[in-house]
Amino acid sequence: MATEELEFGHEDRKRIYEYVERHGAVDPEDTRERLGIDSSGFRHHVAILKRDGRLEKGDGKLRVTIDAGAEEEYVSADLEFHIRPARQEDLTGIVGAIRQVAEERTYIEAESVADEIDHEEALLRHNELESRMFFVATVEDDVVGWVHLYAPEIDKLSHTAELTVGVLEEYRGHGIGSHLLSRGLEWAGSNGYEKLYQSVPSTNEEAIAFLEGHDWETEAVREDHYKLNGHYVDEVMMAVEL
């Protein structure tokens, strides 16, 4: 995934991919009309993009293909939950979950992720500038947790990715966060990343303890980096080697 040069062989093919990648999940005919491509040419280019594993079609929508494994089922005490790659349709649930966790635990980096995907209205990204991947935890098809990985496609940083992870308070204590984190690390390692990092306010002691319990280490502390409710708070910069 990291720093992969995207080759398409035809300008219209590239335009189709970039349109789908930018919008998340699109209606084929609407896409064709907006791009002004004739029907036979559009069908041909979509067929080649599907053949080459760039696009996929499901529920009548075109999406960028991101190979991220299958859905997994877990049972903990009286709770059954699933962890799977996110879909565009999960956007609203993910934004809601991130905002709730960020508000509870002062999770600044996660809050900025929610703002970005809410503004762009596209959940997953894979282009020559950036890659963005989500996995979600669901209970009865509702999103209750997420893990997010973001990597700018810059040669000097191509081995690193930023990670955020969170679970709604009502569903903590069942191992959901640990399974999400494990899934994120597994995906990152299989896609060539060597190091994951994230930053949290020093007041978010629960997040720091969670990461330390999974072998993350504090690399640096930036004093008084945040100002929360009128008080200066340190930023704890954490990372894990894969």
HEC string of the chain equals: CCCCCCCCCCHHHHHHHHHHHHHCCECHHHHHHHHCCCHHHHHHHHHHHHHCCCEEEECCEEEECCCCCCCEEEEECCEEEEEEECCHHHHHHHHHHHHHHHHHHCCHHHHHHHHHHHHHCCCCEECCCEEEEEEEEEECCEEEEEEEEEEECCHHHCCEEEEEEEECHHHCCCCHHHHHHHHHHHHHHHCCCCEEEEEEECCCHHHHHHHHCCCCEEEEEEEEEEEECCEEEEEEEEEEEC
Mean pLDDT across the chain: 90
At 170-221, the pLDDT tens digits run 999 999 999 999 999 999 998 889 999 999 999 989 999 999 999 999 999 9
**The predicted structure's pLDDT at residue 158:** 66
Domains of the chain, first to last: 11-64 (1.10.10.10), 72-241 (3.40.630.30)
- Whole-prediction pTM value? 0.84
At 46-72, the pLDDT tens digits run 999 999 988 999 889 999 888 788 899
- Asked whether residue 4 carries a pLDDT value surpassing 60, the answer given is no
